[in-house]
Amino acid sequence: MLGYYFEFTKIPKVFPKSTVTVEQIKEALELSGKDLRFGDSFYDGFDVKDILKTIQLHRFADTPYLARRTDCEDFSFSLMAHMKKLMPGICFGMVWGDELNFRNTVVGKHSINFFIGSDGVLRFIEPQNNEYYTRKFKPYFAIL
C-alpha cells in the first residue's frame, strides 16, 4: 500500500540571486522553442546550496517505484511542484530525454528534473532519490 506523507516544514527564507532567461534555458538544454514549454519569460536563480537543501525536504522520493503508477514522470512532477511551492519563481523544471551509454547510443527513456542556479550552471536531479543525475542524457522535451 502506498504511504502518503504530510510533512509540515518551515518554508526556507531564501532569496534569488540572479535571473535566468528562457533563452539561457533553451541553450543549456539544447532545445528549440517547440520542445520547451514555459509560463514566464525569465526565472530566478537561487544559490545552489539553498536549492539542494530544499530538494532534500521532498518526501515523495521515499515512495516505492511502481510502473505506470509512480514511475519517473510522477517523481519528476512531484519534485517540480515541491520546488515551485517552496521557492516561487525558481528556474526548476522537468525534462524527458534519452539515456545514453558510453557510445552515445540510446539505452532508455527517462524523465528527470533540472535547475539552473545563480551560478548559471545547468544541473540534473534524479527525483527518485533527490540526488544529482550523473548518467549521459539527451533532453528532447522540457517544461517549467
Query: What is the CATH classification number for the domain harbouring 84?
Result: 3.30.460.70
Domain-located, residue 110: yes
Name the residue range of residue 41's domain. 18-143
Return the closest-CA partner of residue 8 out of 99, 86, 96. Answer: 86
User: Over the stretch 10-58, which tens digit does the pLDDT of each residue have?
Assistant: 555 677 889 999 999 999 999 877 888 898 999 999 999 999 999 988 8
Domain-located, residue 46: yes
User: Over the stretch 50-80, which tens digit does the pLDDT of each residue have?
Assistant: 999 999 888 766 776 666 666 788 899 999 9
Mean pLDDT in the chain? 86
Domain count within the chain: 1
Domain-located, residue 7: no
Domain-located, residue 1: no
User: Over the stretch 86-116, which tens digit does the pLDDT of each residue have?
Assistant: 999 999 999 999 999 999 999 999 999 999 9
Return the closest-CA partner of residue 131 out of 56, 64, 69, 60. Answer: 56
